Amino acid sequence: MRTLARLSLLALLLSATAARAAEAKFGFVDLQRAIREVDEGKSATAVLKKDFDEKQKVIDQKKAEFDKLKAEFDKQAVVMADQAKKDKASELDRKAMELQQLFVQLQKDLSQREGEVMRGIVDKMTGVIREIAEADGFTMVFERNDAGIVYAPQSLDLTNELVRKYNARFGAGSKAAGQAKKAEPAKPAAGKK
């Protein structure tokens, strides 16, 4: 009798769980695509690209200087005294190390800056996603790439809605963006203190 009661209770629990699972509504967003498509993401990407290009110019200039010094050393090495050759080789090694350290530091700076900029955008997107999910009755919303979604019906993709609502709230023409620009401190003119 106890076994029958336990089986009945188990069947009741399984049917209740199945009913709740049938009511669950899932969606997903592609945050990488959304970041590329929202106005703020496009602006941030442009600024980051400009920073990257500037840093790349510095690296290219330093590398050209190093290559020139190395070429001179290679030409003169044949006629140099052993001690002078060792000294010059040590100097070149030091400069190569400095160039490598500069490259690593600039990469780190760019990565950190990108993280800071994108974190702000993703934080705002998370709020918009929450609003979409609550308004449309989604139980869970997954990030397409992080969740490893291989297939899902297009009707569950909330990315377009996210981009639309994000731009409406935070885009260049939105009230929030206008207020944020008004709140920015005035920058002093170049050359004035």
pLDDT bracket for residue 71 (50, 70, 90): very high
Tokens at 61, concatenated? 């200039």
pLDDT value at 180 more than 80 = no
Q: Are 165 and 131 in contact (CB under 8 A)?
A: yes
In a domain, 95, yes or no: yes
In a domain, 40, yes or no: yes
In a domain, 34, yes or no: yes
pLDDT on residue 174: 55
Average of per-residue pLDDT across 128-144: 94
> What dihedral do alpha carbons 111, 159, 142, 123 form, nearest 10°?
50
Tokens at 55, concatenated? 């840093």
In a domain, 17, yes or no: no
**Euclidean distance between CA atoms 159 and 30, whole angstroms:** 6
pLDDT bracket for residue 84 (50, 70, 90): confident
In a domain, 132, yes or no: yes
State which of 1-15, 134-148, 173-187 shows the largest mean pLDDT: 134-148
**Euclidean distance between CA atoms 87 and 45, whole angstroms:** 45
Domains in the chain, number? 1
**Phi, psi (degrees; rounded to nearest 5) at 149:** -70, 120
Q: What angle do CA 156, 157, 163 make, to 5 degrees?
A: 140
Average of per-residue pLDDT across 155-181: 78
In a domain, 130, yes or no: yes
Query: In which residue are the tokens 């997954």 written?
Result: 142
In a domain, 7, yes or no: no
**Euclidean distance between CA atoms 89 and 135, whole angstroms:** 68
Average of per-residue pLDDT across 91-101: 92
- The whole domain housing 93 covers 23-157
pLDDT value at 137 more than 80 = yes
pLDDT on residue 162: 95
pLDDT on residue 112: 94
In a domain, 6, yes or no: no
- CA 57 to chain centroid, in Å, comes to 23
